[in-house]
Chain A
């Protein structure tokens, strides 16, 4: 049995027919072909699939597509203003070499933006490390991810994002 679902993804109205069991991440990847959001585990722990749903970071593998009915979803593809103008968090990841294989990166960036906002642009290293508990990276040893997030916080504030 299929169910109709409609939502806004990166500012665009989208809709589709899904099974009740279809996850939001499956809807994004398989129905919309938006493969920037990744799946790295099956127990909702790695955080590669983090997107923003109505402004809050959500692991899109823990949410059914139908639960996002009517929601505003932002994915990694929707962050940069243009190819030349990345979001300050994306820019900070590049500046600080906070990514290697790139697989955890979309979820890391989405979590990090949410983290900075929840802490009102004020973060210290211990807080960043604690807040990253829902995101696994196997390449970077986290060192440069932490650096990038600490650098991005004031940049986001200055840019008003």
Chain B
């Protein structure tokens, strides 16, 4: 019955109908009676003292309902936005935690920092009035160059963080690593910048807030990836509204990629102001506001060294990184360059000794936090760049050098030297499959053919490891994480036999409404059209942690499996009663309870009906109703891995890079819906290609102005920037979750930058080019070519 809709089937998505017909309901689509509209006045300066704010003229503008400034929220004792992960530095001290006011009262710290909120009858009136607010700024020098942010004499962002240092953190034993380097036959070194990115979900952030005077209840609609976590932060730390008096709803959300995990000031302000204004308030970011104020991603400056023995075995890795935090610490900013970055530096390799030192620095730029991959793309870029460079220096095949150092399948679970224990994996068959699909052996012929057309062709590998579904909660707590890392699920049968799955996970494009329904359809034998997935509303779903870090299926899906087990266990007792059999003799197969060796059978639907109409029912032993919930706390992270192979052609006259072939082979464990997984891989790859070739968040070094603040200046990948992709799979099921699944949401973005850049470097190697920075724009490539030519001429 459910073979076409169960686990492993390419089920077409249930959510598509509404999205394809214009019936999606995103935050900005909400019809709210008597709604007012908010507009936020932003700082035009990267660093300035606010000498005065004059709102008197603005307050008289047509349609203005209220104006609030940083002083108003400070006077009302609105709390600081929090950073939810306490990272301890190398001396054991907690990181510096400067305040993050929801609106700036006396100092602005980046272009886009919020100075005032205007509430008016229409959006246009709110904007008009904001223009009439007079702010007198005393402009100060800005600190925007990450590489120099920790130098003496650089403008300080917060007095609470002297020298702009948030933490100086390390992992590994430096002396042991240094000793291994002293004995190395070869050392490869790289200096790389992981370019700053702006997430750019196509739906801009939006919020709407309403206060019910009668009950004292608040409702906040927000473009959130995790409405319960948002409510928790607002309630417990920022606004003090009790959790049971604040309902947070994240309806259809148009992409997140990390940027919608965090608690932002705008939604906080709307909620706070809703009771003061007495009418609902709506706000939707303009794209230019998104560019300025969404938490950005990446932004590392790194020096790394790899020690190899004479046979090409990795002996040790040494990494020094400065990570940009921006002007304020966003919700999970501190964890990204530490526990999601440095702990991944073993990659797929047996490197026995690793030392990483990470310094987190403040700058007068937008906050930086998790963006698709969050730390893991940065780690992969370091490892896979240095491995490919080592192969070039040693004149060995890059695939061969990787194979030589892969963790063998026989040693899993494998304890890395950087805290993580990989649960499962088998890397050699993955790279073999990728080589086959990409026709690696035919590459030199293609390179020669390209050369005859005046093009430089190159090929690049990237073998990534990812740790996703952060877990277990106890370990995350020991590492400073402020929340649990479990997920919730509830399977609610209605008397007529249809099902609602209530999940604490959240879908903003990933297709949970289909995938989660497939799990229940498969496990309980319920037709998929009789299953509805409910998510994104703190009033209707159990407390959940939401979606980030590729956790939804591995953690949220596992919770659903647990709840389904409870349904079966309860159903067995009911069915045993109905069949007058012993519970121990009842089995559950294809949606039906049976007594083994007899023709007695009770379909699940009949047991459910009996549970709601318990006329003939074991009421003394079994409660009526069929509504089972579960919370699942994983035993470990899950560890997807894969190899990407990218092939590029470069025009040496213009520096233009074209991707001509792109192969990705992944091990995501068991796959519930291959169609959806492929879509996740495609999208991830293009975000990675975007980082490698196109995207770059650039602040003016002197003024701190965001120079790439619109689609005119920030190069989003377009359809003609990328090819179609060739994908393959290898499966080693995750041994510790009931679905045997790993995560697939971030893999593409994690591996692709290194694959593309290794291909670019391979193509340019014959010209003597040793380094091209990301993004490898025509200008950067052309300059690298010219620089190499000049050097050769000298």
Listed in ascending order, the chain A residues whose CB lies under 8 Å from chain B are 19, 21, 29, 33-43, 45-46, 48, 75-77, 79-80, 83, 86, 90, 93-95, 97, 99-106, 109, 125-126, 128-130, 132-133, 135-147
Docked complex Cα distance between A136 and B720 (Å): 11
CB contact list, B511-526 vs A, under 8 A: 511
Q: What separation, in Å, do the CA atoms of A105 and B20 have in the docked complex?
A: 7
Interface of A is mostly: loop
With a CB–CB cut-off of 8 A, which chain B residues contact A101? 201-203, 252-255, 508-509
Q: B328 in the interface, Cβ–Cβ < 8 Å?
A: no
Q: Which residues of A contact B508 (CB under 8 A)?
A: 101
- Given A101-B253, A102-B15, A138-B687, do A129 and B719 touch, yes or no (CB 8 Å)? yes
Kindly identify, within residues 700 to 715 of chain B, every residue whose CB is under 8 Å from any CB belonging to chain A. 710-712
- When the two chains form their complex, are residues A34 and B22 in contact, meaning their CB atoms are under 8 A apart? yes
Q: Which residue of B lies closest to A40 (CB)?
A: B202
Known contacts A80-B21, A139-B255: does B724 contact A40 (CB below 8 Å)? no
Contact A140 B683 (CB under 8 A): yes
Within 8 A of A (CB), among B110-132: 124
| A21-B124, A140-B682 given; A86·B21 CB < 8 A | yes
Given contacts A102-B24, A139-B683, contact A40 B287 (CB under 8 A): yes
Known contacts A103-B26, A129-B719: A137-B202 contact under CB 8 Å: yes
Question: A100 to B21, Cβ gap below 8 A?
Answer: no
- A94 engages B253 (CB within 8 Å): no
Across-interface contacts of A137 in B (CB, < 8 A): 202
Interface Cβ pair total, 8 Å cutoff: 179
Restricting to B195-211, which residues have a CB under 8 Å from any CB of A? 200-204
A102-B254, A146-B719 given; 14 more Cβ-contact pairs under 8 Å = A36-B22, A40-B203, A46-B711, A75-B22, A79-B21, A90-B20, A97-B13, A104-B202, A105-B19, A129-B720, A135-B719, A139-B679, A141-B683, A145-B719
Question: With A93-B16, A138-B683 given, is the CB distance from A46 to B202 under 8 Å?
Answer: yes
| Interchain residue pairs with CB less than 8 A apart (23) | A19-B124, A36-B22, A43-B287, A45-B711, A48-B202, A75-B22, A83-B17, A90-B21, A94-B12, A94-B13, A97-B675, A100-B679, A102-B16, A102-B18, A103-B24, A109-B20, A132-B719, A138-B202, A138-B687, A138-B716, A141-B687, A141-B722, A141-B748
- A86 touching B22, Cβ below 8 Å: no
Does B725 belong to the interface (CB within 8 Å)?
Answer: yes
Q: Is the CB of B682 within 8 A of A144?
A: yes
Judge if B452 is at the interface, Cβ distance under 8 Å. no
B286 adjacent to chain A (CB < 8 Å): yes
The residues of A that contact B711 with a CB separation of less than 8 Å are 41, 43, 45-46, 136
Q: Is the CB of A141 within 8 A of B22?
A: no
CA distance A37 to B28 in the complex (A): 11
Query: Contact check: which of A76, A128, A129, A133 meets B21 at CB < 8 Å?
Result: A76
B722 & A35 in contact (Cβ 8 Å cutoff):
no
Query: Which residues from B are CB-within-8-Å of A83?
Result: 17, 21
* B682:A138 contact, CB within 8 angstroms: no
9 A-B pairs with the lowest CB-CB distances in the bound complex, closest first = A36-B22, A102-B19, A103-B254, A101-B509, A141-B686, A141-B682, A100-B509, A35-B29, A132-B719
Taking A19-B124, A43-B287, A80-B21 as contacts, is the C-beta distance between A136 and B510 under 8 angstroms?
Answer: no
- Are B720's CB and A133's CB within 8 A? yes
In contact, B204 and A40 (Cβ under 8 angstroms): yes
- Which A residues are CB-close (under 8 A) to B15? 102
| Cβ contact of B16, chosen from A33, A80, A99, cutoff 8 A | A99
CA distance A48 to B28 in the complex (A): 14
CB distance from A15 to the nearest CB of B (A): 19
Please name all residues of chain B whose beta carbon is closer than 8 Å to the beta carbon of A141 when the two chains form the complex. 679, 682-687, 717, 722, 725, 748
Residue B678 is within 8 A (CB to CB) of chain A in the complex: yes
Chain A residues contacting B683 (CB-CB under 8 Å) are 100, 138-141
